[in-house]
Amino acid sequence: MNRITPSCLLFTAVAACAAGPAAAQASDYPNRPVRIVVPQAAGGGVDIVARAIAQKLTEAWGQQVIVDNRPGANGIIGIEAVAKSKPDGYTLAAPFTSVLTINPFVYKSLPYDAFRDFAPIMQSVNNIIVLVVNPYLPARSVKELVALGKSRPGDLVYGSFGIGNLTHLAAELLRIETGLKMVHVPYKGETPAVTDLIGGQFVLLFATSAGVNAHIKAGRLRLLATGGEKRAAAYPDTPTMGEAGYPNASVTGWSGLVAPAGTPPEIVQKFQHEAARHVRSPELAERLTALGAEPVGSTPEEFAAFIKAEAGKWSRVIREAGLSLSQ
């Protein structure tokens, strides 16, 4: 027969007392507006997904779920604010690949710890990364783009969403694989980069499909290839980077939801359950897929394991490729 010691009884009582208020708090959650900080400018792929989720949660809960855009420094500004917020479930973040799994290996110091300062809620989507160019560029395939770049060394100018961003790494991988000499122009987020690509300030960009889908359809940008192992459902006639002959330059992104560390698990679970239900609903899934974002809606535990695996992958890419991202 197992013996229950006084210390065990004390621990059980403390745990029960701690769980009681948290459970009560979760049952009443949310009773005021919830803020999702998107560490990107409005209109980008991460922003579009976060707003779609926020709208559905607002309708389900009868409480405003507000998207707060805080771009800059490759997501550092926005994510730092959430890391330092009260862990009560009313301030969350919608991080993307670079924020949690690339920045820690690019920057010598960060004002947040990507692996200790956040409670994972769920991976929202896989973001298809696409290679797009300004239509005036006389290149209709990746091979034509590479040939053009080699015929005019140093003339190709590419943009990114910021130094060390996934879009920067994708272009660097293409440069390394092809030997192209290109000039990098980093921007403070997705929207200003896309705007200047359309305006002809530079000629090529790796971007999230959701952020440029409308511009591709309108003819303001030309799509050359998509990332991932298989063709995107949104662009069935467009080859992958692998099919185009450059598999080592193929990358995919993601976005998700996290809370400050210390947020009651009951609140994390409640938010995840409702958000995942909507992400996987036929209506929202169809809408996101059409934009080139593949719905996921994982559990907190699955998302935590995914973040760990992604961090391992990108740390190896940065180290093995010898990328210098300190400029």
Check which CATH number belongs to the domain holding 311 and give it: 3.40.190.150
Residue 42 lies in domain = 18-127+253-321
Prediction pTM value: 0.81
**Total tally of structural domains belonging to the chain:** 2
Q: Specify whether 173 is located in the same domain as 268.
A: no
Total Cβ atoms within 10 A of residue 157: 14
Is position 8 within any domain?
no
Same domain, 239 and 135: yes
- At residue 249, the pLDDT reads 85
Answer yes or no: do 159 and 295 share one domain. Answer: no
Res 171: pLDDT: 92
Please identify which residue in the block is written with the tokens 């409308």. Answer: 214
In a domain, 107, yes or no: yes
CATH number at residue 145: 3.40.190.10
Contact between 130 and 249 under an 8 Å Cβ cutoff? The reply is: no
Residues 108 and 180 in one domain: no
Asked if the structure places residue 5 within a domain, the reply is no
Q: Residue type at 159?
A: G
**Residue 61 within any structural domain of the chain:** yes
Residue 125, CB-side half-sphere exposure with 13 Å CA sphere: 30
Whether 3 is in a domain gets the answer no
pLDDT at 23: 56
Specify the residue for token string 């290679």.
131
Same domain, 50 and 185: no
For residue 98 the two structure tokens come to 């670079």
Specify whether 176 is located in the same domain as 108: no
Among 234, 251, 268, give the residue marking a domain's end.
Answer: 251
Is the Cα dihedral 134, 135, 140, 146 positive or negative? Answer: negative
DSSP 3-state of 129 = strand
Q: 210 and 301 in one domain? A: no
Query: What sign for the dihedral angle of Cα 38, 44, 168, 101?
Result: positive
At 257, give phi and psi (nearest 5°). -135, 135
Residue 186, judged by CB atoms within 10 A of its CB (0-12, 13-18, 19+), counts as middle
Nearest by Cα to 323 from 240, 220, 237, 249 = 249
pLDDT at residue 277, rounded to an integer: 96
Shared-domain flag, residues 114 and 257: yes
Q: What is the block-wise mean pLDDT of the chain (327 residues), using blocks of 10 residues?
A: 41 44 72 96 91 96 97 92 97 95 88 96 95 96 96 93 88 90 91 96 95 96 94 94 91 95 97 96 92 93 95 84 55
